[in-house]
Amino acid sequence: MSSWIERARAWGDQYNRVRPTGAGIWYLVITVGVAIGGMNTGNNLVYAVLSVMMAVLIVNNVLAEWNLRGLVARRSLPAEIFAGQAARGALILENRRKVGPALAVRVEEMDGGRAAADLPRVAPGAEVATAADWTFSKRGAQRFSVLRVGSAYPFGLLLRYRDLQVPGTVLVYPASERGSPSLGGPGDGLDGQSPRGGVDQTGELHALRPYQPGDPVKRIHARSSARVGEPMVMLRAGENGNRVWLKVEATGNPELYEQQIRRATGQVVLHAARGDAIGLEAGAVRHEPATGAQHRRALLTTLALL
């Protein structure tokens, strides 16, 4: 039974589906009214008007059907997606026809993320990428399956669309909830230790980096800040940055547990930007303090899948 359903669905996916737009509904109502008027009056002029209106519908259907033939869509997902935040990626439309551009086409994500893009023109044999924003309300692995390609070309009377099977998966990180850089606090489920490792406050200046929330104001380098137009923080020789521990504890309150995860995510983002070594303990999972982009992704992945 399921095989027959899959075959019927595959057969249906080969053809475009049609529904009238708001303007199209009014056009059809007027067309029916003109047809009724022609039958009641027998006036040849009314029949001539009806013929023109029917011809417009025929031309609209032929051009609209051709406009969607040979189109293939795919997505280029953002490198990182955080729950509740728009992440910029791209929707790509390829016109595999040898003749005729695709005009006024809209590509939409149907399963999740609410991404959409409008492409005014795609030349034959070409592909065009248009920026699109994905937004997810929940963290964790999110699956895609369908991209809808549609157009109301040429007259805006009928919307023609086709659902393309384009499966995919993306990992959505938890929402980043910024808090105080010092993570301690009774009852908040997060333990933070920030012992300064190998700090030499009297060492020679060897690097500068942009100011991050929580940096001591006294370490801002005035001349460099004035030169680049933003606050720059001094790093001295022998300074290795902070060593931070994060802890997420299971609770009987789902809302409190999710709040811990969001706060931990915010701290990972914050301290990774500062170059601190970050450790994480969440249930049976433990990450020793380390730095670097790969370690940051490992921490965020663990938090997303808790």
**pLDDT score of 205 more than 70:** no
AA identity, residue 111:
D
Whether 246 contacts 267, CB under 8 Å: yes
pLDDT-derived band of residue 197, with 50, 70 and 90 as boundaries?
very low
- Residue 258 to residue 126: CA distance in whole angstroms: 45
- What's the confidence (pLDDT) of residue 46? 85
Q: Which DSSP state fits 217?
A: G
**pLDDT score of 188 more than 50:** no
- C-alpha triplet 274, 280, 282: angle, nearest 5°: 145
Burial profile 248-284: b = 16 or more Cβ within 10 angstroms, e = fewer: beeeeeeeebbbbbbbbbbbbbbbbebbbbbbbebee
Provide the mean pLDDT of the chain.
82
Phi, psi dihedrals of residue 245, rounded to the nearest 5° = -110, 130
The more confident residue out of 22 and 4 is 22
* Ranges of CATH 2.60.40.10 domains, the chain: 1-172
Q: What is the pLDDT of residues 119-139, one digit of tens each?
A: 999 999 999 999 999 999 899
Identify the weakest region by mean pLDDT among 124-128, 229-233, 296-300.
229-233
- Residue 222 to residue 192: CA distance in whole angstroms: 30
Residue 3 parent element (H or E): helix 2-13
Name the CATH topology of 1-172: Immunoglobulin-like (2.60.40)
